[in-house]
Structure 1
C-alpha cells in the first residue's frame, strides 16, 4: 500500500507541475491565466483532500484490524493458560494420589515386617525353652537381620519419597515456567 500511495502522490505532484508549466507557457492573458491557475489549485486541493481522507480510512481500518487481532490473541492466551492450569491441577492430583498410594504401601509393608518380627520373636521364645544357647544365638542373628532389613526398607522408602518429591517439584517448576511463557 505504501508503494501504491507513493506512486499516486508522485503522479499527482508531477501532473500538477506539468499543468502549471503548460499554463505558464501558454499564450493567455493574465486574467485567464489566474482563473485557470485558481481552478487547478482548487482541483489539487480536492484531490489532496481525497487522498488524506483515504489515508485516514486506511489507518482506521488497520487500527481496527490490530484491535481485533489483539483481542483474539488475548482470548487464545487466556484459554491456553486455563488449559495449563487445569493440566497442572490434574497432574498435582495424580501425584498426590500416587504419594498416598506409596504411603499406604509403606504402612502395609511396615505392618508385615512388624508381624514377621513378632512371629520370629515368638518362635525364638518357644525355641528358647528347648535350647537356650542355640536359640539365643539364632535370636541375635534374626534381630540383626530384621534391623538391617528394616533399616534398608526405611532408607529405600526415604530415598523413594525424596525422589518422588523432587520429581513433583521439578514438574511443578516446569509447568510454572510454561505458564509464565
Structure 2
C-alpha cells in the first residue's frame, strides 16, 4: 500500500465519519421533531385533560424508549466502525512494516552486488596496472641494455 493509497484511505475514513455524524444529527432531529409533533397533537386534541396527560406520558415513554434504542444502535455502530478502523490500521501498519523490510532487503542485496562488482573491477584494474608496470619495466630494461651496448 503506497502513500497515495494511505492518503485515499484516510480521506475515505474522514468522509465516513462525517456521514455518520450527519446521520446522527438527522436521526436526532427526526426524533425530536416527532416528539414535538406528538406533544402538539395531544395538546390540541379534543380530549379530556386526564386522557391527554396519559397519552402524553405514554408517548413520552415510547419516544424515550425509541431514543434510547436509537442511541444504543448508534453507539453499537460507532463501536463496530471504530473496531473496523482499528483493524484496518493494524493491517496497514503490518503491510507497511513488511514492505519496509522487503525494501531494506532489496537495498542490502543491491549494495552487496555493487560491492562485489567494485571489488572485481578493482582486482581487474590492479592486474592491468601490474601488467603495464611489468611491460614498462621490460621496455626500460631493453632500453638500458641497448644503451649499454
- Give the TM bin, normalised by the shorter chain: 0.7 to 0.9
Aligned positions of 1:1-181 closer than 5 A: 1-130=20-149
Q: Tell me the secondary structure at the aligned position of residue 90 of structure 1.
A: helix
CA distance in 2, matches of 1:84, 1:117: 49
- CA-to-partner distance for each residue in 1:128-174, whole Å, 9 max, x for gaps? 232xxxxxxxxxxxxxxxxxxxxxxxxxxxxxxxxxxxxxxxxxxxx
CA distance in 2, matches of 1:63, 1:4: 16
Larger radius of gyration: 1
Report deviation, 1:5.
Answer: 4.0
CA distance in 1, matches of 2:126, 2:22: 78
CA distance in 2, matches of 1:33, 1:92: 86
TM (normalized to structure 1)? 0.65
Report deviation, 1:3.
Answer: 4.5
Report deviation, 1:124.
Answer: 1.4
Larger RCO: 1 or 2 (CA < 8 Å, sep 6+): 2
Greater shift, 3-12 or 104-113, is seen at: 3-12
CA distance in 1, matches of 2:41, 2:144: 131
Report deviation, 1:68.
Answer: 1.2
Greater shift, 21-30 or 109-118, is seen at: 21-30
Q: Post-superposition, which runs of at least 4 consecutive aligned residues in structure 1 deviate over 6 A?
A: none
Q: Which runs of 5+ in 2 are unaligned?
A: 1-19
Alignment correspondent of 1:144: none
Q: Tell me the secondary structure at the aligned position of residue 87 of structure 1.
A: helix
Report deviation, 1:126.
Answer: 2.1
